[in-house]
């Protein structure tokens, strides 16, 4: 039996309306651990972008990567609207993973 993989597109924030980081991975818990240890991304480390404020799941890496690329082209206000439609208070959602 083959294990089902889940792929995540996620948005991290430094604070409410702060610096945003968009990423993709197949182990969100592990990726957040790396980010919070300052080893996941130089950008995340530099701007202390460690609060998980938004995530989506996908069944294939291609779908997740396509969505990540799409979100990265969005205007900042569109990203903020997406976050606030799902997480008005910009709470850290890491307890959900």
Residues 6+ apart with CB under 8 A from 52: 10, 11, 12, 28, 32, 92, 93, 94, 97
Q: How confident is the model over 70-82, as pLDDT tens digits? A: 999 999 999 999 9
Report yes or no on 25 lying in a domain.
yes
CA dihedral 56, 33, 40, 65 (to 10 degrees): -20
How many angstroms separate the CA atoms of 18 and 21, rounded? 10
Low-confidence ranges of the chain (pLDDT < 70): 1-2
Report yes or no on 77 lying in a domain.
yes
CATH number, domain at 27? 3.40.1440.10
Could you give the number of structural domains in the chain? 1
Contact status, residue 6 vs residue 54, Cβ threshold 8 Å: no
| Domain span including residue 49 | 7-96
Give residue 97's pLDDT.
87
Report yes or no on 55 lying in a domain.
yes
Give residue 1's pLDDT.
62
Task: Give the global pTM.
Answer: 0.93
């Amino acid at each position: 039996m083959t294990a089902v993989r889940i792929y995540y597109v996620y948005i991290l924030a430094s604070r409410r309306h702060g610096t945003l980081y968009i990423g993709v991975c197949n182990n969100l818990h592990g990726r957040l651990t790396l980010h919070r240890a300052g080893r996941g991304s130089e950008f995340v480390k530099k701007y202390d972008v460690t609060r998980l404020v938004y995530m989506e799941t996908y069944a294939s890496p291609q779908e997740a990567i396509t969505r990540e690329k799409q979100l990265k082209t969005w205007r900042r206000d569109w990203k903020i609207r997406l976050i606030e439609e799902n997480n008005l208070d910009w709470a850290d959602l890491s307890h959900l993973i």
